[in-house]
Structure 1
Amino acid sequence: MKKLLLLALTVVSLSASAQNSASNKVISAKADALQDKIIAWRRDFHEHPELGNREVRTSGIIGKHLKSLGIEVQTGIATTGVIGILKGGKPGPVVALRADMDALPVTERVPLPFASKVKTQYNGQEVGVMHACGHDSHMAILMGVAEVLAGMQKELRGTVKFIFQPAEEGAPAGEKGGAEQMVKEGVLENPKVDVIFGLHINSQTEVGKIVYRPGGTMAGVSDLQITVKGRSAHGAYPWSSIDPVVVSAQIISSLQSIVSRNVNVTENPAVVTIGVIQGGSRFNIIPESVKMQGTVRYFTEYDEKLVTDNVRRIATKTAEAYGATAEVMLPFSNHYPVTFNDVALTAKMLPSLEAAAGKENVMLRPPVTGAEDFSFFQQKVPGLFFFLGGMPKGGNSITAPSHHTPDFYLDESGFTLGVKALCDLTLDYMAKSK
């Protein structure tokens, strides 16, 4: 009897495996057939970038495409967000797929025929606007996924929720936006999402490859502002002052000891960076105050408290030792949680990534100290966020232009792998949830 049961289970397992293999081949063929359309969408978005909470043209194109596929569309979520709901022909879980839409205040330097020439006002200055982080490719890929899955609607064992999110790079000053605002406005409800998948193109990972990490994959982040107040004086008479410039220099130097002497870097990395220091107006005047701004990053709640507590202590006590004061605002204007890939979900879905890219092309990666507001979705539902190669084959990952720079460049031949991976994750999750 046991042998018969084992044989039956083996047959079922082989049958499911064969079905998955056949499904993967269908998806692969459909994705390859869409390559030219995906590249065209990406180039259009790239040539017409829009900053966070200003993605009006962008969201209009996305909404029109989803409607053309017969997908239920909701617009105006978190200002300019677009939601598409595709109800499958069979009951099952709700799988969310997310792409971000916003560009950056960067002037493009890449000599492409579809390079951005857009200019706009940002923080009171005229700036260029560029998709310098690959969000244009994310949108194009997810539009391709929507077209593939809409063509398989009757076979879908569940519902797919397509989330096109504004302001991933942060909302403009005085505004709300991004994933946090989408969550507050109920994007994970009606229907209630069971799991969420997302990807990020990477200009320093070779095209055709996927990299991932279970657990903390991208850092939690808070920005900070420290205002040091002393006493102004003529630069020729420093003894009459309490010099906030000297105090600030001591604070900046001492902050470096947090990572080197307080954080156990054998377990998790951390970062404390001061990127802005402003003070004074003339070479021979000691100013009354100095303002610093920076960022702290971490991978656990313990390290978040450790780092932030030490920043406050070092800044305030160093200032006090010099007779000055230091006001610490941490976080100052934004805070993203750790982008945490659910460990069980990652293990469960790893075969899907390997089926899409080939096992030899899926690699474990170290933690990334960059941050992602995809983490707000993962706080509510299990999620998996992975990286898709966008560097030309044979490229040098060290010298390839990095994200958020004027020379950022992507090899478009890898976009269809993103479509295959997200489709495989969706269908395989639905199949495993029966």
Structure 2
Amino acid sequence: MDIKNEIENLKEELISLRRDFHQHPELGFQEFRTGKIVADYLEDLGLEVERNIAKTGVVGLLKGKHPGKTIALRTDMDALPLTEETGLSFESDNEGNMHACGHDGHLAMMLIAAKVLSSRKEEIKGNVKFIFQPNEEDAGAEIMINEGILENPKVDAAIGIHLWSLLESGKAGVAAGPLMASSYYFKLLVNGKGGHGGAPHTTISPILAGIDMIKGLQEMVLNEVDALKPTIISFGKVNAGTYPIIIPEKMEIEGSIRCLHPDTEAVQERMGEIIEGISKVHRTTFSLEFKCGNELLYNDQEMTEFVEGVTEEVVGKENVVKSDISVMLGEDFAEFSKRVPSTFIFLGSADKKKKTDYPHHHPKFDIDEDVLQLGVEIHVKTALTYLNDQ
């Protein structure tokens, strides 16, 4: 039986898996039920399985009959702290948590891909590692990698697929180079001198200093950063004071930096210089901390050209989008892409009639289940072609 027909025969199971995961969402590092289902499923297929990597992650290893390279297929498992408003019959039964980013579909696609590939074990030259990653929304990939998932056997290449509501159903986005931005979260604490609002000359206002810092950083992005190097500094949280006539001691500012280029460190350094200069003018002190959300996701040129060919075979050349798909959103598949030749693919899932065109992380987000088979086919054919034509 050819691959497309085999996947078609597994469609009912594919959708059933997706709906079960959707109905039982679990947050990052809490994917205990999800991880157990995944691990048990892979073991039933005869794969070598490692459980509880990075707390809840799972890796299944399919060893082909013949020696060769190793390709990793990676998917994510975590849900979001969001109350669902889809009204689906399989709506989340875990109140306040929801699969609003497509990870439920990713899980189902990967499991069915593992089933199809395991049935072809005798013809595979090399190995397939199925990586089920926890906590993608807050950088779980690096922890798994630090626990050795790219070794024994050593991974030679990796791919990931993300269902994407920014593309029409049936289309796929495949492009080399920078695809998804790096993201760093920052916490800025501005320290002043509190006092009476009627005697501001006896105080040092952290609020006035903080406002100037926010304006200064926005002007930096506008006037100092090359417009051909997309950069965003956004502010998501500001907290200061308790009462209208009290000038507070401190002001807290939190936000993020996103860069679709590799010069994030230089942006952070300049950010620190501007804050320091404004702080001196206002006679405040400050502390500034950065936390990495995601590194820059950069698709390898050669690997992307290879995957592009496979994807064209699956969805049709006319449905492969190769430009204008990069976004300032983050994705920690970047941890794989900076270590091994990798490609990350967007698989369109937007169908207005089916109401699957809501943005990711929206309480009404849903996926077009008819595209799940395409994702399975891309996984399977990419792995087989990469290994057997090496």
Are 1:131 and 2:107 matched, yes or no? no
Distance 2:74 2:298 in 1: 15
Are 1:256 and 2:214 matched, yes or no? no
* Structure 2 residue aligned with 1:13: none
Match for residue 423 of structure 1 among 368, 376, 380: 380
* Structure 2 residue aligned with 1:16: none
**Which letter does structure 2 place at the counterpart of 1:380?**
R
* Structure 2 residue aligned with 1:204: 166
Describe the shift of the 1:35–1:396 C-alpha distance in structure 2 as closer, same or farther (beyond 3 A).
Answer: closer
Distance 1:94 1:275 in 2: 42
Match for residue 219 of structure 1 among 166, 178, 181: 181
Match for residue 300 of structure 1 among 254, 257, 261: 261
* Structure 1 residue aligned with 2:208: 246
Cα displacement string for residues 117-139 of structure 1 (whole angstroms, at most 9, x for unaligned residues) = 313xxxxxxxx111111111111
* Structure 2 residue aligned with 1:337: 295
Distance 2:31 2:88 in 1: 22
* Structure 1 residue aligned with 2:246: 285
Q: CA deviation at 1:237?
A: 2.2
Structure 1 outlier segments of 4+, above 4 Å: 393-397
Identical counterparts, % of pairs: 39
SS at match of 1:130: coil
**Which letter does structure 2 place at the counterpart of 1:68?**
D
1:169-188 aligned at under 5 Å gives the runs 169-170=137-138, 178-188=140-150
Cα displacement string for residues 171-206 of structure 1 (whole angstroms, at most 9, x for unaligned residues) = 7xxxxxx11011110000111111001011112211
Are 1:323 and 2:283 matched, yes or no? yes
Q: CA deviation at 1:286?
A: 1.1
* Structure 2 residue aligned with 1:55: 31
Q: CA deviation at 1:395?
A: 8.0
Q: Name structure 1 gaps, 5 residues minimum.
A: 1-24, 120-127, 172-177
**Which letter does structure 2 place at the counterpart of 1:29?**
N
Q: CA deviation at 1:393?
A: 5.8
Are 1:360 and 2:336 matched, yes or no? no
Describe the shift of the 1:395–1:65 C-alpha distance in structure 2 as closer, same or farther (beyond 3 A).
Answer: closer
TM-score (norm 1): 0.87
Distance 1:134 1:40 in 2: 15
* Structure 2 residue aligned with 1:21: none
Are 1:346 and 2:282 matched, yes or no? no
CA contact (8 A) 2:314 2:378 kept: yes
SS at match of 1:386: strand
Distance 1:349 1:111 in 2: 36
* Structure 1 residue aligned with 2:136: 168
Distance 1:106 1:240 in 2: 45
Distance 2:40 2:313 in 1: 31
Q: CA deviation at 1:431?
A: 2.8
Distance 1:335 1:169 in 2: 8
Q: CA deviation at 1:56?
A: 0.5
Distance 2:5 2:221 in 1: 49
Count of equivalent residues:
389
* Structure 2 residue aligned with 1:383: 342
Give the RMSD, CA atoms, in angstroms. 1.6
**Which letter does structure 2 place at the counterpart of 1:328?**
L
Are 1:82 and 2:58 matched, yes or no? yes
CA contact (8 A) 1:207 1:393 kept: no
SS at match of 1:169: helix
CA contact (8 A) 2:180 2:328 kept: yes
Q: CA deviation at 1:352?
A: 0.5
Distance 1:29 1:253 in 2: 58
Distance 1:409 1:71 in 2: 31
Q: CA deviation at 1:27?
A: 1.6
Q: Which moved more, 1:308-317 or 1:224-233?
A: 308-317
Distance 1:338 1:326 in 2: 28
CA contact (8 A) 2:354 2:368 kept: no
